Structure 1
């Protein structure tokens, strides 16, 4: 279930998206001799042979110098620029040059395996004019060493990961390249009084230049090389990396997002993943027009994507073009080893839209995706269930080439499930979610859980949106209910179910780690591990999130430090069997 599944989208103004076509800016190499990833095959700029060389088309008459004057001039310019670039690269320290545990500060990092051999330590010392990490080209391709292996339970990156036989055990890098108020409230709080509620309103308020500076600082610090090392050391094997469509450029006048910058950091993240033997699932988290009207799509309010209007149809077509662009990117040199899964679109609110057009859109986008990768090649394509439930997708797109279904399982956005007592919440994954994963795998095909957490309340700051309140303490009220002057729902917290403990129904206390008793921590441990067991009845799981600023129940790192998440995801002491609720085989 969505983090805001029961929250009806709030209203907002209509963006001025053009219906008569658009242009998604191609990816430009930071190297003058590199390939242009994302352009059409064989394409080259005027005067180029498409391979980084220059084509001379001038007059052949006259002296040698006369005949080759342009070549000599071009060569002199290139040599001069190269010398200047090398000097700058040597003198200037880049913002992404964070030293890792091995002391390396090169862009690609130390590629050596445990035996100290193999791999490639080359770096791309160039930088884009905006100061962000350079993009992929032939010289900065992902280099894979046969020795790179995140743990003994996972094959090295030069060997395929056997989905369905080996479980995905991963975390999300949420709040990094797509902002969410509940993950990093400090980025929004200075501007809430000015009606900032999402990345759209934030960048619109700050303007292009200030937004770029603001986001540059965030991107370079929220996730670093050490993040990937820590993920590896916890026994995990995958990361899921959300990215907004604006990362690829091609924005309209009414789209104030910062283009291109987050794409550079996405590519840096993929290189770090390769360095530590981790596989990545890149996914489009925000589509043009917003596919769900929630703040983590980039813009809260109305759904302007595939909503039955010409504007919605145009945004659907734009989204496919962005998927195609990003697909071409992750087909780049060495990428097939690092990014074997691709999320075509995160959490479209299909339950609020007409189903048939979305079915067609799913088929169209997957066809375009496979047209680029080729049959049997490229990453798995992943569709989200759109909150319809897994059974609604049984038999959809049968015999597709490596197609998987994604579901996001949370108890806390359902008024009935959030009220269950602790024992029933712990058992729910063993008894219910495990069977749904088995059934979906049998009747749709490979199914995974792209998001879940340890949370059993919705108290995390701004989790439901800024100014919306919380189901747990009875303050939850979406904006449309406020306008209609509807009464607040009854508080989900029921002290009689778990004892009348002082502060139990207070979101302030629930957000404070110091409030958690040993009994509560044991409950969190049991609940987290039964979920992991249940979701491994399918392809596996990605925990949401790797960290947050203010709420430990949504932070994998905090959960490990506080003891309710195992230090090694491959050796878990708890789970369904340990609690006397073994998961049996699917009966059909």
Structure 2
């Protein structure tokens, strides 16, 4: 059942946009964009918009310092330290400059066709409880403009609830709150998240700037403990489908134009996302694959190439490997065998091996577009400049890296 706020909006807006998965459900050209999926035969090839609307200080310490947050762990702490008005002004400068329209054009020119945009629930400010929560305000118009740029460029857009109500994991700034205890997994927080999803899907269908948004990820990286997050699978996931579809039905959106609703897949470790769903129409799955955190894989170049060439990411469809990188474990990353400056040939092979593995699914999204790490292993833009990532992505199939493996 749609909430009163959404029902009111339904009577105000018209000229519906459509959601889709390119080359399967709808050509991206149907809404005036350029079809960047033709060359990839419908496969998603994309980059994450890390630190744009959900700031992770490790990605961009200089930008974090420039905002005025240098001594703080997360956006909440920064806002409380700076004060609301000063924080709003400082974050606005960041939203305006971290990833620009020129970046969006460059992304499209590199043969990519998709962006995944991490956002926090505080982007819709009426969801925020000002008595207990503090976040930068004024971000939504920047998100709107950002998605308009991407739509103009013909990029497919996935909006990802990266920072959930109450925080879905502990001590991680990518939830917007660096907290010692999770608070997401209860009825109160689920309801707030559902209100967020309702308002977001409304914008997707009625706001022209969001016309290329075809997928909503309803929570990023929940706890990797199936028992602790059982209520998420039992309650939040089914209700998210019900509430999102209720808005779309109220808008009289055609079923083929519904958004895809994305959840972390079972390989993530939060249980089977499908176990309590009765209708999997336009369900989608997110798979994050960082070999650096997989203790079962020996830390060697040959092992990493072998693991990627033989990687099996399951048979749920559509599955998108929504985060991955070229980074080895932290304790060896600057050793001579792994140094990015002297091992370009290896990283070129490893990129190709991972791409070929993930394109056995519905595609991939690299974490992240840009960083301030002086390390191309986390920055697609820098990896292209270093000659690690080719502009012709189809050429990875000509490398022979997996021949005989």
TM over 0.5: yes
Q: How many residues align?
A: 379
Partner of 1:148: 34
SS in 1 for 2:393: coil
1:243: Cα distance to partner?
A: 0.9
Map 1:87-126 onto structure 2 (within 5 A). Answer: none
Tell me, yes or no, if structure 1 residue 254 matches structure 2 residue 129. no
SS in 1 for 2:168: coil
> Any gaps of 5 or more consecutive residues in structure 2?
15-28, 250-254
Q: Is this contact kept in 2: 1:306–1:315, CA < 8 A?
A: yes
1:330: Cα distance to partner?
A: 0.6
1:387: Cα distance to partner?
A: 6.2
**Which structure has the greater CA radius of gyration?**
1
Map 1:416-495 onto structure 2 (within 5 A). Answer: 416-417=296-297, 419-431=298-310, 433=311, 435=312, 437=313, 439-441=314-316, 445-458=317-330, 472=331, 493=332
1:256: Cα distance to partner?
A: 1.3
* 1:209 aligned to which of 76, 85, 106: 85
* 1:244 aligned to which of 116, 120, 123: 120
Between the aligned partners of 1:215 and 1:451, the Cα distance in structure 2 is: 25
1:286: Cα distance to partner?
A: 0.4
* 1:564 aligned to which of 384, 388, 391: 388
Compared with structure 1, are the counterparts of its residues 335 and 386 closer, same or farther at alpha carbon in structure 2 (3 Å cutoff)? farther
Partner of 1:397: 277
Between the aligned partners of 1:227 and 1:570, the Cα distance in structure 2 is: 22
Between the aligned partners of 1:392 and 1:38, the Cα distance in structure 2 is: 32
Compared with structure 1, are the counterparts of its residues 363 and 523 closer, same or farther at alpha carbon in structure 2 (3 Å cutoff)? same
Tell me, yes or no, if structure 1 residue 580 matches structure 2 residue 399. no
Between the aligned partners of 1:237 and 1:286, the Cα distance in structure 2 is: 24
1:571: Cα distance to partner?
A: 3.3
1:148: Cα distance to partner?
A: 2.6
Between the aligned partners of 1:355 and 1:546, the Cα distance in structure 2 is: 31
1:39: Cα distance to partner?
A: 4.0
1:365: Cα distance to partner?
A: 1.0
Q: Is this contact kept in 2: 1:150–1:237, CA < 8 A?
A: yes
Q: Is this contact kept in 2: 1:280–1:341, CA < 8 A?
A: yes
User: RMSD of the TM alignment (CA)?
Assistant: 3.1
Query: Greater helix share, 1 or 2?
Result: 2
Map 1:132-171 onto structure 2 (within 5 A). Answer: 146=32, 148-150=34-36, 152-153=38-39, 166-171=42-47
1:570: Cα distance to partner?
A: 3.4
Between the aligned partners of 2:70 and 2:108, the Cα distance in structure 1 is: 40
Between the aligned partners of 2:31 and 2:192, the Cα distance in structure 1 is: 37
Map 1:1-12 onto structure 2 (within 5 A). Answer: none
Q: Is this contact kept in 2: 1:394–1:440, CA < 8 A?
A: no
Compared with structure 1, are the counterparts of its residues 219 and 335 closer, same or farther at alpha carbon in structure 2 (3 Å cutoff)? closer
Between the aligned partners of 1:414 and 1:149, the Cα distance in structure 2 is: 36
Partner of 2:156: 279
Between the aligned partners of 1:528 and 1:193, the Cα distance in structure 2 is: 33
Q: Is this contact kept in 2: 1:350–1:386, CA < 8 A?
A: no
Between the aligned partners of 1:526 and 1:394, the Cα distance in structure 2 is: 35
Partner of 1:93: none
SS in 1 for 2:395: coil
Between the aligned partners of 2:160 and 2:257, the Cα distance in structure 1 is: 18
Map 1:543-562 onto structure 2 (within 5 A). Answer: 543-550=366-373, 551-562=375-386
Q: Is this contact kept in 2: 1:351–1:388, CA < 8 A?
A: no
Map 1:278-317 onto structure 2 (within 5 A). Answer: 278-293=155-170, 294-307=172-185, 312-317=186-191
Map 1:26-425 onto structure 2 (within 5 A). Answer: 39-42=8-11, 146=32, 148-150=34-36, 152-153=38-39, 166-189=42-65, 194=71, 196-250=72-126, 251-252=128-129, 253-259=131-137, 261-293=138-170, 294-307=172-185, 312-334=186-208, 337-351=211-225, 354-360=228-234, 361-374=236-249, 375-385=255-265, 388-389=268-269, 392-393=272-273, 397=277, 399-417=279-297, 419-425=298-304
Between the aligned partners of 1:25 and 1:523, the Cα distance in structure 2 is: 56
Compared with structure 1, are the counterparts of its residues 184 and 532 closer, same or farther at alpha carbon in structure 2 (3 Å cutoff)? same
1:301: Cα distance to partner?
A: 2.1
Between the aligned partners of 1:239 and 1:171, the Cα distance in structure 2 is: 5
| 1:206-236, Cα deviation, whole Å (9 max, x unpaired) | 1111111111111111111111110110001
Between the aligned partners of 1:573 and 1:200, the Cα distance in structure 2 is: 45
1:381: Cα distance to partner?
A: 0.7
- Larger RCO (alpha carbons 8 Å, 6+ apart): 2
TM-score (norm 1): 0.59
Between the aligned partners of 2:382 and 2:293, the Cα distance in structure 1 is: 22
TM-score (norm 2): 0.84
Q: Is this contact kept in 1: 2:218–2:262, CA < 8 A?
A: yes
Between the aligned partners of 2:42 and 2:175, the Cα distance in structure 1 is: 31
SS in 2 for 1:351: coil
Partner of 2:335: 504
